Amino acid sequence: MGNKKILVVGELNVDLILNNIEGFPKIGDEIIANDMNLTLGSSSAIFASNISILGIDTSFCGMVGSDYFGEFIEKVLVDRGVDCSFLRKVKNKQSGVTVVMNYDQDRANVTFCGAMENLTIEDVPWSEIKQFDHLHFSNLFLQKNIKNDIVQLFKKAKDAGLTTSLDLQTDPEGAFDFDYAACLPFVDIFLPNKSELLGITKVDSVEEALDKISPFANQVALKMGEEGSILVSNGKQTVQRGYSHSSFVDAIGAGDSFNAGFISKFLFGDPLIDCLKFGNLIGAINTTAAGGTGAFQSNSQLTKIAKEIFNQDI
């Protein structure tokens, strides 16, 4: 069916990852981290980098500062085969940075948004949008200049004939102000995790939350961490168990990698249940190396990890 082309619209930052930390930081005290990595961060960029490695022709629309981190972000994306023609470097702005403090399978993050906040709906290459088959958007709540136009963003993409996907990510303010009734009809694949789903629906259970969004959502791929994932399509729910393994490093970007696995299979025309299974596998592979892209340096590396750790063929 030919190679599909995806446009990823979203935020860009680096991740400064601290592992093996001796305690939790307290005001006025100093503690030691015994391991550090500087990697490509941001939900959108991790997704773009990894879905490119999975064989999808990928372009990115976003903003970085005119600084070292901006150059680092662009180089990593280009090295992973992502077209950065629509990436803008903003003068007098710094690129975003997230400091990640890892504690087993949980973490504490501090993010400086920087240039990513400047992205607006007008920066999307609408004059060239019909060259793409799919639009993916991620991390709504960190991008204040596009947040109020999110419904229009997806409506314009659908009007242009694209399929679409959305990963909200968390809201640092805890408000989860998202009009799902207005937006989700224009989203083909909605990709929340459990806490995000409960946040936007203001309820306490997954079942109740799914009931609330089902009248408006097309397909939902709900990420449940170690528990696996749930597909909701045509009124039917399918639960898919996750992959357990003993090679865990960290879970940074695991949800974004799940997205990359799911959407890559979706664009290849596979059944949705196969998309869900593959999303679980790619999310699990993510956790075998530091950061969201450490396990995705190349397709050959990815294939090796899948076979040696999970006994799966890609």
Kindly list the domain boundaries of the chain, sorted by start residue: 5-310
3-state secondary structure of 46: helix
Q: Is 91 exposed, middle or buried (0-12, 13-18, 19+ CB in 10 A)?
A: exposed
- What does pTM read for this prediction? 0.94
The 10s digit of each residue's pLDDT in 228-284 is 999 999 989 999 999 989 999 888 899 999 999 999 999 999 999 999 999 999 999
Phi, psi of 49 (to 5 degrees): -60, -45
Q: What is the pLDDT of residue 25?
A: 86
- Select the CATH number that applies to the domain covering 5-310 from these four: 3.30.43.10, 3.40.1190.20, 3.90.550.10, 3.50.50.60: 3.40.1190.20
* pLDDT score at 103: 83
pLDDT at 105: 67
Q: What is the pLDDT of residue 2?
A: 53
Quick one: how many helices (H) and strands (E) in the chain? 10, 13
Residues with pLDDT less than 50, the chain? 1
Q: What is the mean pLDDT of the chain?
A: 95
Q: Put the strands of the sheet holding 229-233 in their side by side order.
A: 83-90, 57-65, 5-10, 134-138, 163-167, 189-190, 219-223, 229-233, 236-240
Half-sphere exposure (Cβ direction) of 192: Cα atoms closer than 13 Å: 25
Q: What is the dihedral of CA 5, 98, 256, 185, to 10 degrees?
A: -80
pLDDT of the residue at 1: 43
| pLDDT at residue 201, as a whole number | 98
